[in-house]
Structure 1
Amino acid sequence: MALFQRSRPPRPTPRERLEMDMEDTVVYAVGDVHGCYKELKSLEEKIALDARQFSGRKIIVMLGDYIDRGPQSARVIDHLLALPPEGFLRVCLAGNHEVAMLNYLDGYLSRDRWLAVGGRETLFSYGVDPARLASIYPSSDEVDRRVKEVIPASHIDFLRSLPVLLCSDKFVFVHAGIRPGIDLVAQDEQDLLNIRDEFFDAAHLLDRFVVHGHTPVDIPRLDGRRLDIDTGAFHSGRLTAVRIADKFGKLIFS
């Protein structure tokens, strides 16, 4: 989306892309949280209960967009910085909203543009009312400085550290999708965070199953070799995970 494009040159360091052997591994992929802490806690409890039937390695893969729009973005990040549920590994991927927040903090995106896509709710979760700050300080630069002071360095470091993709020989986990016909190592990072139509239109041509979020759906359904599990938790109240064990999947809802 043009909304998230930078007006300055992009940061030169690309985000990490992870590859993992998922043989004998049970994976629970979780869709876009968007500040819905209560739904995330509820879903994790159901995942932990479901996982009791399995032995071996268990991984929770978070598909990005932990912030904006919902009411408790700061608390969601605190939660993801803490230990995962007992017996699990947790991998958190980047979403376009994490990148948008960093773009604002780094001066690549205006405050108004970030606030318009959910940044206002994120700042509320840190105890900041940007409209009140703007009424107190006449300088926009001073408002931005005050905003940046309240966001913990650990949260910013977390956002910067997020990899953009996790893959195995059978599956790809990514926020938005991939551009069909291009090797994973050559995928453009902006596509991984933002792509829609080109990915959807060629879902039947994919050589691996792609589990993603980014585009809200009412009910996740397999389309070719892609599965969208973003069920719009911030407005539907329903956060969704898919459990993948071998080649079989099961949906779990908060």
Structure 2
Amino acid sequence: MERSYAIGDIHGHLDKLRAAHDRIAADRARCGDAAAPVIHLGDLTDRGPESRGVIDYLIEGIARGEPWLVIRGNHDETFLQFVLDPARPNPVLPEDETWLSKAWGGSETLRSYGVTVPRLGWSRLDLPALHRAAHEAVPQAHVDFLRARPYWHRRGDCVFVHAGVRRGVAIEDQDPNELIWLREPFLSDPEPFPWLVVHGHTVVGDDPVHFGNRLALDTGAPFGGPLTAAVIEGREAWRLTDQGREVIAPPERNGPRFSR
């Protein structure tokens, strides 16, 4: 049975990312599997203090041969758009919001690159000047890395995406915007998909949730919650803790959680 590891939305929290990888390393040692990939479900950037550090960490790990995969998230896409072409309309953001609006956390990302962002409402900022500063401050290697991120990854019984999938559409034919932005009707869909959909994007509280047809791993790292690292074998999943594995039980399984 294929084993995969997955990590939820990081949002600039390098300390939590390192801790998640430590828990994965401990699980690898217990099961003797050094080859199973680690799939990061996107949203590397925004809100947290170390977006630049997170991207550096991932680039360096992949370069030294770590079996890490990184999926594109909507925050990564919006950051990339600001650096490359801030005038291009975002098809999802409301007209009265930008990546620099407080709720999006783009200012924290720019600060991690040494770009000073005044603490003003975004409508009072000199956006062209900030764009020029971002274009100069963000290394080309980071731009290239983000541009190369895939929108999905399929492995065994699982499809890994940032946000969700559209029912009845082959994974190869899914709309990329929906793969990083979708909520409904995906979140309320109770029927099985062809795969277990492993995703982030929508915070489910402090604990990951197995809905039977999907596994939700965004546990709100930028809002004081943990950064979840999980191991998936077939369609079964466990959260990794400092004490070992803790089952993420699908709804049809009753009884207490257990560690292994």
**TM interval, short-chain normalised:** 0.7 to 0.9
Structure number with greater CO (CA < 8 Å, separation at least 6) is 1
Q: Which residue in 2 is equivalent to 1:113?
A: 98
Paired residues, what number?
228
2:133 matches 1:146: yes
Q: Which runs of 5+ in 1 are unaligned?
A: 1-23
Q: Is the 8 A contact 1:213 1:228 kept in 2?
A: yes
Partners of 2:193 and 2:168 lie apart in 1 by 8
1:18-97 aligned at under 5 Å gives the runs 24-56=1-33, 57-83=35-61, 88-97=66-75
Partners of 2:108 and 2:200 lie apart in 1 by 20
Equivalent position amino acid for 1:195 in 2 = L
1:142-181 aligned at under 5 Å gives the runs 142-181=129-168
1:164-204 deviation per Cα after TM superposition (whole angstroms, max 9, x unaligned): 10013411000001011111111111110011121112242
1:85-113 deviation per Cα after TM superposition (whole angstroms, max 9, x unaligned): 99840000100011101221223259x71
Q: Is the 8 A contact 1:100 1:109 kept in 2?
A: no
Equivalent position amino acid for 2:164 in 1 = G
Partners of 2:212 and 2:2 lie apart in 1 by 23
Aligned Cα RMSD in Å?
Answer: 2.5
Q: Given the two structures, how large is their TM-score scaled by the length of structure 2?
A: 0.80
Task: Give the secondary-structure state (helix, strand or coil) at the position aligned to 2:185.
Answer: helix
Report deviation, 1:139: 6.2
Equivalent position amino acid for 1:93 in 2 = I
Partners of 1:88 and 1:227 lie apart in 2 by 24
2:237 matches 1:249: yes
Choose the corresponding residue for 1:207, options 194, 207, 223. 194
Partners of 2:188 and 2:153 lie apart in 1 by 22
Change (3 A) 1:192 1:242: same
Change (3 A) 1:87 1:130: closer
Q: Is the 8 A contact 1:59 1:90 kept in 2?
A: yes
Q: Is the 8 A contact 1:177 1:196 kept in 2?
A: yes
Q: Please list every run of at least 4 consecutive aligned residues from structure 1 whose deviation after the TM superposition is greater than 6 angstroms.
A: none
Task: Give the secondary-structure state (helix, strand or coil) at the position aligned to 2:150.
Answer: coil
Report deviation, 1:246: 3.7
